[in-house]
Chains A and B, each alone.
Chain A
Amino acid sequence: MRLSVVDTERCIGCQSCMFACARRLGEGGLASTCIGVRSIGGMERGFKVVVCRACDDPPCASVCPVGALQVRKGGGVRLDAAKCIGCGHCRDACVIGAVFWDDETNKPMICTHCGYCARFCPHGVLSVVKGKNVESAGLADNAGKAEKARKAERVEEAEGAEKDSSPPQAGMAAGAEGPDGGAADATRKAEEVEANA
Chain B
Amino acid sequence: MLKGDPLANVLYIDLSKKRYRVEQREDLFEKNMGGAGVAVELLHEECPKGADPLSPENPIIFAVGPLTGLFPLASKTVAMFKSPHTGNLGESHAGGRSAVAIRTAGYGAIVIRGANDIPGYVAIHGSEVHFRDARTLWGMRNSFTVGRIIRENEPAAGLRSIMRIGRAGEKLIPYACVTTESYRHFGRLGLGAVFGSKKLKAVVVSGKHSLPVGEGGGGFGAAEYRRVYDQIYQEAVASPVMKKYHDLGTPENILPLNALGGLPTRNLKDARFEGADRICGEALAEHYLGRRLACSHCPVGCIHIAALREPDENEPYFYKTSMISYDYELIYALGSMLGGSDPEGLLKLIDRIEVYGLDAMSSGVVLAWATEAQERGLISDEQTGGLRFAWGDYPVYLEAVGRIVEQPNEFYAALARGVEHAASVYGGKDFALAFGGNEMPGYHTGPGAYLGFLVGARHSHLDNAGYSIDQKVLTKRQVGPDELAREILKEERWRQVLSSLVVCFFARGIYHPETASAALRVAGFDRAPEDLQRIGTEIHSRKYAFKVREGFSFDDLRVPVRVSETPSPVGMLDSQYLQAAVDYVCSDISRTGC
A residues engaging B (CB < 8 A)? Answer: 12-16, 19, 22-23, 25-32, 36-39, 41-46, 103, 120, 122-123, 166-168, 170-172, 174, 177-181, 191, 193-197
Q: How far is the CA of A137 from the CA of B96 in the complex (A)?
A: 28
A30-B208, A43-B293 known, 17 other contacts, Cβ within 8 Å:
A12-B303, A16-B233, A16-B299, A23-B229, A26-B222, A29-B210, A36-B158, A44-B291, A122-B301, A177-B289, A178-B307, A181-B290, A191-B157, A196-B105, A196-B155, A196-B156, A196-B208
- CB neighbours of B293 from chain A (8 A): 12-13, 43-44
Q: How far is the CA of A197 from the CA of B72 in the complex (A)?
A: 26
Q: Is the CB of A42 within 8 A of B147?
A: yes
Residues B405-451 near A (CB distance < 8 A): none
**Contacts known (A16-B72, A44-B182, A44-B323); A28 close to B213, Cβ less than 8 A:** yes
Residues B58-117 near A (CB distance < 8 A): 69-70, 72, 100, 103-105
Q: Is the CB of B305 within 8 A of A181?
A: yes
Q: Is B283 on the interface with A (CB-CB < 8 A)?
A: no
From B155, B225, B292, give the contact of A194 (CB < 8 A).
B155
Classify the secondary structure of B's interface with A.
mixed
**Contacts known (A12-B294, A172-B246); A196 close to B158, Cβ less than 8 A:** no
Q: Is B298 on the interface with A (CB-CB < 8 A)?
A: yes
Q: Is the CB of B221 within 8 A of A181?
A: no
- Closest partner residue, chain B, to A44 (CB atom): B323
B residues engaging A (CB < 8 A)? Answer: 69-70, 72, 100, 103-105, 125-128, 144, 147-148, 151, 155-159, 181-183, 206-213, 221-222, 225-226, 229-230, 233-234, 237-238, 242-243, 246-247, 285, 288-301, 303, 305, 307, 321, 323
Q: Is the CB of B210 within 8 A of A26?
A: no
- CB neighbours of B290 from chain A (8 A): 44, 178-181
**Contacts known (A27-B211, A29-B211, A172-B246); A43 close to B182, Cβ less than 8 A:** yes
Q: Is the CB of A43 within 8 A of B156?
A: no
**Contacts known (A27-B213, A122-B237); A181 close to B294, Cβ less than 8 A:** no
Q: Is the CB of A14 within 8 A of B294?
A: yes
Q: Is the CB of A27 within 8 A of B210?
A: yes
Q: How far is the CA of A22 from the CA of B323 in the complex (A)?
A: 33
**Contacts known (A29-B211, A197-B126); A19 close to B230, Cβ less than 8 A:** no
Q: Is the CB of A171 within 8 A of B70?
A: no
Q: Is the CB of A181 within 8 A of B296?
A: no
From A28, A44, A178, give the contact of B211 (CB < 8 A).
A28
- CB neighbours of B100 from chain A (8 A): 15, 30
Q: Is the CB of A172 within 8 A of B229?
A: no
Q: Is the CB of A15 within 8 A of B323?
A: no
The 4 nearest A-B residue pairs measured at CB: A26-B222, A38-B158, A194-B155, A28-B211
Q: Is the CB of B208 within 8 A of A120?
A: no
- CB neighbours of B288 from chain A (8 A): 178
Q: Is the CB of A31 within 8 A of B299?
A: no
- CB neighbours of A41 from chain B (8 A): 148, 151
**Contacts known (A178-B290, A179-B290); A39 close to B158, Cβ less than 8 A:** yes
Q: Is the CB of B234 within 8 A of A167?
A: yes
From B125, B126, B242, B291, give the contact of A46 (CB < 8 A).
B291
- Closest partner residue, chain B, to A36 (CB atom): B158
Q: Is the CB of B321 within 8 A of A181?
A: yes
Q: Is the CB of B291 within 8 A of A178?
A: yes
Q: Is the CB of B226 within 8 A of A23?
A: yes
Q: Is the CB of B209 within 8 A of A29?
A: yes
From A13, A29, A37, A46, give the contact of B104 (CB < 8 A).
A29
- CB neighbours of B148 from chain A (8 A): 41-42
From B225, B230, B299, B321, give the contact of A26 (CB < 8 A).
B225
From B128, B210, B221, give the contact of A22 (CB < 8 A).
B210
Q: How far is the CA of A177 from the CA of B206 in the complex (A)?
A: 30
**Contacts known (A14-B295, A23-B229); A28 close to B210, Cβ less than 8 A:** yes
Q: Is the CB of A26 within 8 A of B125?
A: no
- CB neighbours of B104 from chain A (8 A): 29-31
- CB neighbours of B321 from chain A (8 A): 181
**Contacts known (A15-B296, A26-B222, A43-B293); A195 close to B208, Cβ less than 8 A:** yes
A-B contact pairs, 23 of them (CB 8 A): A14-B297, A19-B72, A23-B225, A23-B229, A26-B213, A26-B225, A27-B210, A29-B69, A29-B103, A30-B69, A38-B157, A41-B148, A42-B148, A45-B323, A122-B237, A122-B300, A168-B230, A168-B233, A170-B234, A172-B299, A174-B247, A193-B158, A194-B156
